[in-house]
Structure 1
Amino acid sequence: MTTIKDTKQEIQFRFPKGFWWGSATSATQIEGAAREGGKGLNIWDYWYEKEPNRFFNGIGPDKTSDFYHRYKEDIRLMKETGHNSFRFSISWSRMIPDGSGEINQEAVNFYNNVINELLANEIEPFVNLFHFDMPLAMQKIGGWENRDVTDAYARYAKICFELFGDRVKKWFTHNEPIVPVEGGYLYDFHYPNVVDFQRAVQVAYHTVIAHAKAVREFKKLDIQDGKIGIILNLTPSYPRSSHPADLKASHIADLFFNRSFLDPAVKGEYPQDLIDLLKEHGYLPAVAEGDRALIKQNTVDLLGINYYQPRRVKAKENMPNPDAPLMPERFFDPYVMPGRKMNPHRGWEIYEKGIYDILINVKENYGNIECFISENGMGVEGEERFRDEKGMIRDDYRIEFIREHLKWVHQAIQEGVNVKGYHLWTFMDNWSWTNAYKNRYGFVSVNLDKDGERTVKKSGYWFKTVAENNGF
């Protein structure tokens, strides 16, 4: 085994006792076995069947990284890379194949086995209930557009709490709930490929209702030491300048992409500015009696924060086409900051201080809620070229990426932010929604040419020393 020298004396950035070191993933992206074990189809299985050309190299979700069959080996490697916690998602369509009917016992057995294996390796399971994978049967009746689906989801959540809550203490309702809104109802990069602002608003609203109903079920059960949260991809909106028009543009971007879920989940209410904006343009969602109290009474205990890149915006340069579909960009333009640092593979800006700015915002404006970095990571294409003669991928760029972000997390902790952990996206290279294995993110390499053979990258061994020393 390769080890990377580090000693207790050299530690400059020490983290609080009990800090959560680990990684995150999702069911559809690693499990494979898409048509095994009694699983029902989800929207990804269906969309791939319908339009395989929309997927990179025509690779769909059937097999992915085969965690379904290889979870014991994978959890052993989590242990080997210093994990004390790991977030995964339960597949709703595996648990309840049609989304609202019978429970699939094979799925219950699988998730029980995964949870027990994690605990046997002293890795705490963090479980997320929804990660973009709407059961096809639920989508056929409208998905999140249909209010009945929020009740089916709350029932599914309750079943999971009852089955696994004796061992799982950290629960999350949704991962990045803004993404199915953007991808499925605005920008056409997820199924059902709708471009319609009104429907997008309704989907976002019903997602919040589904979340609040699941939180209500969790609170009724009173799981000992249990906490329920939500995982949001918070993207700081930086204005080009301090000109009022640029500031207004960044404020509106923040309302749409961050506060539309952050405020109801943590504060129990929507920002008045967002309500006013939607009202002014005639796009308020349909609501039901009692919704306001439901959202107000069912706020989260724990906030997961996913951070990859900043959003930089400026005031509109030109008047929008009045006949074009309304998009959030009706109110701002993207701004390319001169001299920005880029990940050339993914086309994303690397701005480490963004993680600190998010955390300070959470402290100052959201009651310093208990939180953790639930995803942060660097996707790189063609990583095989960094494999050394011993077969290890020497991903020093990933080590640098993690280290520089962790320095800002540490700074936030010094300033009193209630941040409890750091999870990388992701544990092992996994299938990305429409990009398949184009960009690799993992601590562990998955070699698809060698039957999914796993090898730990240099970053995995480095992370182990960080976790063992609780700092670097």
Structure 2
Amino acid sequence: MEQKLQFPEGFWWGAASSGPQTEGWYGKRHENVMDYWYRNQRNDFFDGVGPDVASDFYHHYPEDFRLMKEIGLNSFRTSIQWSRLIKDLETGEPDPEGVEFYRNLIAEAKKNGIELVLNLHHFDLPAELLEKYGGWQSKHVVDLYEKFARTAFELFGDDVKYWTTFNEPMVIPEAGWLYGFHWPKLTGKGKEALQIMYNINLASAKAIQAYRDLEKDGEIGIILNLTPSYPRSQSEEDLKAAAFADDFFNNSFLDPAVKGKFPEHLVEVIEKDGVKWDETKEELETIANNTVDFLGVNYYHPKRVMAPSNPEKYPDWMPDKYYEEWEWPEARINPYRGWEIYPQAMYDIAKNVQDNYGNIKWFVSENGMGVEGEEKYRNADGSIDDDYRIEFYKEHLAQLHRAMEEGSNCFGYHPWTAMDCWSWNNAYKNRYGFIGIDLNDQKRTIKKSGRWFKAVSDENAVTIETEE
């Protein structure tokens, strides 16, 4: 039996991407940390493929916006690259070539009736700021980011109505300083990671303040990867571990962004452990007074946690002292990515935002399924039958719709991603796009999921199969 789930009028049916993962190197003024990593350790990248060409969005964006329109997208999130827009990183002076590119990109989106959401930081800090100042460990870098943000708002703030300060800011300390899977590939640097978390929250608030100072007619938010922590059992120890994991990985950015303050229990723990970040009263006031207008939520998989079995094995401070991950025996796993597929968490996130964060308006800013070797599903015309992706989206949309029926204030759904893009050191190993890209000639082909999404967008509804 089929059921049609209707969404509210004006709902965003879009997609998400980013500058460093699509544009390619051409015309850029500075290297970012990912460019630098690729140049220095190419073997870390799947098949040796780097960001130098990527999906060549720099040259293909007119065609890409036409294809986005063809698959029913009414909105699209990408990013402005700090390393492309800014000529002088210390003063925030813009680069004319970067300005021209983004002006043309904005005009092309408008021409195709696509609402742009422009994000200011997508893991792409200019590499020289990491080398010179230690990156986000430095409050000077916070000030330089504010200058970059202000330049972007002054240049494009009259033409773009939706802005976000950061994409998945938690990944920066997590991947670069705690667990070493992104550049600079450091591990065990818990105290440094905490300072980075604080500084990025401060940078976001300062950018929001700059945006409001300019009195532009738009809105500004942040995009967070919310990964709900589910305890192994209802024991006090497991519940405590899940609460800490939520505070550290989710609420450390969600609370300052929406409530203007850090989670109390997290602050208590790091004060007790002697690893609290360096803060001032004035900075905390800036964070308190510059909360977001809206929230973007990236959701891919849950976190399963239990009480730590050996907290003493971390002589230097690490969050792992307070929780441990475990594998739920009943989990459905995407074998290509190793991530659990758990649509129920979409509902749980929506209800958490509704019940505990003032029901702030929000949108799903990423959700997707990466699959390796998609070419085996290719048809004679080059299209790909990615039915597994359609099923993934249907399941998650059903849970989102359930929460919205109960009052969750969600205004859009942006899967990752519009067209196949470069995924850091995974490169093009796992494909995510509605539109496939042949890396040999950059030919674009709409996948079956893209045609399906067009029908969803046209009807403003998704049809799911029910058991009844």
* TM-score (normalised: structure 1): 0.95
> Is the Cα contact below 8 Å between 2:384 and 2:448 reproduced in 1?
yes
1:224-279 deviations in Å (ceiling 9; x for gaps): 2x110000000110001111011001001001100000000000001110100111
State the match for 1:193 in structure 2.
185
User: Is residue 2:147 matched to residue 1:160?
Assistant: no
1:184-203 deviations in Å (ceiling 9; x for gaps): 11111111222211111111
User: Is residue 2:431 matched to residue 1:440?
Assistant: yes
State the match for 2:105 in structure 1.
114
Supply the distance in 2 between the matched residues of 1:116 and 1:212 (Cα, whole angstroms): 28
Q: Which amino acid aligns with 2:194?
A: V
Supply the distance in 1 between the matched residues of 2:435 and 2:211 (Cα, whole angstroms): 34
Give the counterpart of 1:281 among 273, 289, 314: 273
> Is the Cα contact below 8 Å between 2:14 and 2:74 reproduced in 1?
yes
State the match for 2:466 in structure 1.
none
Aligned with 2:415: secondary structure? strand
Aligned with 2:312: secondary structure? coil
**1:100: how far off?**
2.6
> Is the Cα contact below 8 Å between 2:311 and 2:322 reproduced in 1?
no
Gap regions ≥5 residues in structure 2:
463-468
Supply the distance in 2 between the matched residues of 1:448 and 1:59 (Cα, whole angstroms): 10
> Is the Cα contact below 8 Å between 2:88 and 2:94 reproduced in 1?
no
> Is the Cα contact below 8 Å between 1:172 and 1:229 reproduced in 2?
yes
**Structure 1 vs Structure 2: percent identity of aligned residues?**
52
User: Is residue 2:263 matched to residue 1:271?
Assistant: yes
State the match for 1:17 in structure 2.
9
Aligned-pair RMSD on alpha carbons?
1.2
Paired positions, count = 458
> Is the Cα contact below 8 Å between 1:98 and 1:138 reproduced in 2?
no
- 1:236-247 mapped onto 2 (5 Å cutoff): 236-247=228-239
User: Is residue 2:82 matched to residue 1:92?
Assistant: yes
Supply the distance in 2 between the matched residues of 1:169 and 1:448 (Cα, whole angstroms): 33
Mean Cα displacement is larger for which, 58-67 or 96-105? 96-105
Supply the distance in 2 between the matched residues of 1:307 and 1:319 (Cα, whole angstroms): 28
User: Is residue 2:366 matched to residue 1:380?
Assistant: no
Gap regions ≥5 residues in structure 1:
1-9
Supply the distance in 1 between the matched residues of 2:198 and 2:317 (Cα, whole angstroms): 18
Give the counterpart of 2:63 among 73, 85, 91: 73
Supply the distance in 2 between the matched residues of 1:326 and 1:283 (Cα, whole angstroms): 7
**1:392: how far off?**
1.2
Q: Which amino acid aligns with 1:265?
A: A
- 1:62-461 mapped onto 2 (5 Å cutoff): 62-101=52-91, 102-140=93-131, 141-195=133-187, 196-224=189-217, 226-323=218-315, 325-449=316-440, 451-461=441-451
1:77-105 deviations in Å (ceiling 9; x for gaps): 00011000000000001011452343101
Aligned with 2:342: secondary structure? coil
> Is the Cα contact below 8 Å between 2:346 and 2:396 reproduced in 1?
yes
State the match for 2:465 in structure 1.
none
Supply the distance in 1 between the matched residues of 2:44 and 2:31 (Cα, whole angstroms): 18
Supply the distance in 2 between the matched residues of 1:322 and 1:311 (Cα, whole angstroms): 21
Supply the distance in 2 between the matched residues of 1:64 and 1:391 (Cα, whole angstroms): 20
> Is the Cα contact below 8 Å between 2:275 and 2:317 reproduced in 1?
no
1:31-52 deviations in Å (ceiling 9; x for gaps): 00x1x32421111111111111
1:143-194 deviations in Å (ceiling 9; x for gaps): 1111011111111111111111111001000000000111111111111222
Mean Cα displacement is larger for which, 193-202 or 256-265? 193-202
Give the counterpart of 1:61 among 27, 41, 51: 51
> Is the Cα contact below 8 Å between 2:314 and 2:321 reproduced in 1?
no
Aligned with 1:429: secondary structure? coil
1:110-159 deviations in Å (ceiling 9; x for gaps): 00111110011000010000000001222122211110111111111111
> Is the Cα contact below 8 Å between 2:28 and 2:83 reproduced in 1?
no
Supply the distance in 1 between the matched residues of 2:88 and 2:122 (Cα, whole angstroms): 17
**1:330: how far off?**
1.7
Aligned with 1:420: secondary structure? strand
Supply the distance in 1 between the matched residues of 2:178 and 2:3 (Cα, whole angstroms): 46
Aligned with 2:383: secondary structure? coil
Aligned with 2:305: secondary structure? strand
Supply the distance in 2 between the matched residues of 1:26 and 1:65 (Cα, whole angstroms): 11
Supply the distance in 2 between the matched residues of 1:146 and 1:271 (Cα, whole angstroms): 22
Supply the distance in 2 between the matched residues of 1:366 and 1:78 (Cα, whole angstroms): 33
**1:391: how far off?**
2.0
Supply the distance in 2 between the matched residues of 1:393 and 1:98 (Cα, whole angstroms): 44
Aligned with 1:442: secondary structure? coil
Supply the distance in 2 between the matched residues of 1:173 and 1:252 (Cα, whole angstroms): 25
Aligned with 1:12: secondary structure? strand
Q: Which amino acid aligns with 1:45?
A: D
Aligned with 2:8: secondary structure? coil
* TM-score (normalised: structure 2): 0.96
**1:317: how far off?**
2.4
**1:61: how far off?**
1.1
